[in-house]
Structure 1
């Protein structure tokens, strides 16, 4: 075996250029497999992290499109039809719902001394952070008592903390200004990173929902009840109209914003298996509360965030499988190249084979020699491919934020796979060499 290996390596060395060109194909294929698996695994991890950042089993209800004068479709922000009453009803009436959080979206300037940050400023109810599975690393979260008292307290994301405070400085207990209104910092949130849309989730300030309306909203809502609260009821507050008439008036006027309105309602189901059922229950309840007739389109949209993120994870897995398949195809082509080179080698060395057979070498010796040559060629190529793949992973890690990581099992499997390709595709040329007739082969001496 040692002699056969030495002979095989000497034969490869005598045809260095041809061997290098053959090894290049296998090395590139192995490197591509390692790199694609590393990138695919990192991408899937990012998507899974994003699912966890969204919170488990989460859906979001936002205001849907309404029809304005002339039949023009209007955005949900133009005519807000979701209220805190809706969120309370969902939490109280649907047993499949674990927690609910209502949100009012906004943005503005946060100031601390001579530092400032233009960030998103959202008003939230106490259940929002529970739904988002977003803990505080210091201080505390917003409570129902904060909303009831319209407390001027704020939760800060990590990005806002870095902009407003010195490194190592504790923001909890300090007073900052939000839209020139003083707020006390009660907590700092854990880092969330980028969202599935690519924006920085840590560049945000959260305040109680009631406080956001009264202190940060530049356009206070008119003093009327929400659509769901007044529909079908005879409520008069100086307008002389019943609740039903007021709802119709509000629907016809897209510039009206309800008192108690929210931009979105975040809902957490008890488990992933009940998400679809919970979605149907939420839709049915909101249609009842909004007095929508059968056949009338929803005036809200329900977005299953976990399913969207999981669909992206599935897409990432499919893309990874596709790329690995392409890399494997390149290995197959490289294997065909090994077979071609070995057949050429058998033809060139016919006289050598005949001479060895004539002096007593067995057909098994010839077979093993050429198999060892093919395996050595593939294994050296595999080793170079593994090194090249490691270098590619390091380059991608340095140049992007994908943060791919090398899987040792994948590298080992690729290396052994290269050897298997060499043996598989070298078997036929080796068999051809072992079947040569010594007398016919010696005629070429």
Structure 2
């Protein structure tokens, strides 16, 4: 009887093949959408996680804040010169939850090797920077505290710079290049890091000791800070042949005054993720004390928790994935309603057939099974087509974009089984309606 029921169900679908095809299209598109959206969402989350890992773990960055100029106009943070290397040293010594600190100077310029050149970012760093960024070398050695103390003219190159300055397969370590027409020896080559979350090529960079960057690569010669008075809040400096005192307020108001201890940022690594918020607050409090800011004065620096920013992006990516899957699931729900509608129409059209089968001895369970099999077969074939369509969509997205979605067999299997479940669930009511028909009433339509 079961084989006959299956054969009857398939014949019924074939007799109404155009209607069946239209119904199958809705389910197939829904299944394909689920597979494609999950693949895109997973790939997007993977990219965000990779970008987080590229940053390093538990990172906090401190940069100069916006300075208030004449008339209350806010100026660029680059004009605020009161963030110093000594601030970074104090953060490392006085805050127990800080694991490592690196002061940074930012710049850019031309790198030259023979007849090859590259315009790249040039950063002055201290010895802990690459460790904080979790950025290994593939050749040579890291910068050391001795390099910084000796103002050594040594450099570490990113992969993009290596590709522009040297021939493929050529070893840059030990070679001499010129940075802003100053000779430097290459002591190391960094592993490829890729793009940042803002699309910046992280490998297009040259790292040199911080002291060397200030003295050899900084376009603005700076007077040397000799001492800081904790009582008066005045900085003593020289560099022009004369000595004297200048108030901190004067330094703030005059962006042309740049002193030797100034840095563009501090890169700080907390000991663990749990202490990030507390560490951020402690850093802010310490720097306010060091910069002698009154309670009503705003910060002259910005403290940025990079891990929180990265996690926020990861959370956004996860929410986007859930949204996409929800939209795809809604399309499946609509397709299921379409199945129910088509099956109800089929029951109405085949009332005479149902009555005749009941009259010649078919049980109500047989009628129920027949229509359930029709709905399930319709959904399963649609699911198979949807899986194939989803795989095709993934290959198209992979070829046309840089998202690189990956086919997940478990997701495809789950989507296929979901299609069958949709057919059974939404076909159950029409099948029950068919099985409850009165044979005498049904036979009147013969």
Q: Aligned partners of 2:152, 2:230: CA distance in 1, in Å?
A: 25
Relative to structure 1, the CA distance from residue 408 to residue 84 in structure 2 (aligned partners, 3 Å threshold; closer, same or farther) is same
Map of 1:329 onto structure 2: 330
> In the alignment, does 2:247 pair up with 1:249?
no
User: What's the secondary structure of 2:11's corresponding residue?
Assistant: helix
Q: Which moved more, 1:162-171 or 1:121-130?
A: 162-171
Map of 1:166 onto structure 2: 167
Q: Which moved more, 1:214-223 or 1:356-365?
A: 214-223
Relative to structure 1, the CA distance from residue 143 to residue 65 in structure 2 (aligned partners, 3 Å threshold; closer, same or farther) is same
Map of 2:97 onto structure 1: 96
Map of 2:106 onto structure 1: 105
Relative to structure 1, the CA distance from residue 64 to residue 234 in structure 2 (aligned partners, 3 Å threshold; closer, same or farther) is closer
Runs of 4 or more above 3 Å deviation: 224-242
Map of 1:87 onto structure 2: 88
Relative to structure 1, the CA distance from residue 413 to residue 236 in structure 2 (aligned partners, 3 Å threshold; closer, same or farther) is closer
User: What's the secondary structure of 2:79's corresponding residue?
Assistant: coil
Is the Cα contact below 8 Å between 1:226 and 1:259 reproduced in 2?
no
In the TM superposition, what are the counterparts of 1:35-54 in structure 2 within 5 Å?
Answer: 35-54=36-55
Give the superposition deviation at 1:248.
2.3
Give the superposition deviation at 1:225.
4.6
Give the superposition deviation at 1:399.
1.1
Give the TM-score taking structure 2 as reference length.
0.96
Structure 2: unaligned runs, 5 residues or longer: none
Is the Cα contact below 8 Å between 2:376 and 2:421 reproduced in 1?
yes
Map of 2:410 onto structure 1: 409
Map of 1:438 onto structure 2: 439
Give the superposition deviation at 1:271.
0.3
Structure 1: unaligned runs, 5 residues or longer: none
Q: Aligned partners of 1:352, 1:126: CA distance in 2, in Å?
A: 86
Relative to structure 1, the CA distance from residue 116 to residue 228 in structure 2 (aligned partners, 3 Å threshold; closer, same or farther) is farther
CA offset digits 1:380-411 (Å, max 9, x no partner): 11111111111111111111111111222111
CA offset digits 1:141-198 (Å, max 9, x no partner): 1111111111111111111111111222111111111111111111111111111111
Map of 2:210 onto structure 1: 209
Map of 2:391 onto structure 1: 390
Give the superposition deviation at 1:234.
7.8
Give the superposition deviation at 1:235.
4.2
Q: Aligned partners of 1:274, 1:168: CA distance in 2, in Å?
A: 44
Is the Cα contact below 8 Å between 2:227 and 2:237 reproduced in 1?
no
Give the superposition deviation at 1:230.
9.3
Is the Cα contact below 8 Å between 2:80 and 2:300 reproduced in 1?
no
Give the superposition deviation at 1:229.
7.9
Is the Cα contact below 8 Å between 1:225 and 1:258 reproduced in 2?
no
Q: Aligned partners of 1:79, 1:336: CA distance in 2, in Å?
A: 64
Q: Aligned partners of 2:390, 2:58: CA distance in 1, in Å?
A: 37
User: What's the secondary structure of 1:138's corresponding residue?
Assistant: strand
Name the count of aligned residue pairs: 443
Relative to structure 1, the CA distance from residue 307 to residue 22 in structure 2 (aligned partners, 3 Å threshold; closer, same or farther) is same
Map of 2:296 onto structure 1: 295
Map of 1:345 onto structure 2: 346
Give the superposition deviation at 1:240.
6.2
Map of 1:263 onto structure 2: 264
Relative to structure 1, the CA distance from residue 143 to residue 41 in structure 2 (aligned partners, 3 Å threshold; closer, same or farther) is same
Aligned-residue CA RMSD in angstroms? 1.6
CA offset digits 1:299-327 (Å, max 9, x no partner): 00001111001001101111111111111
CA offset digits 1:37-90 (Å, max 9, x no partner): 111111111111111111100010000011123322111101222111011111
Q: Aligned partners of 1:151, 1:2: CA distance in 2, in Å?
A: 86
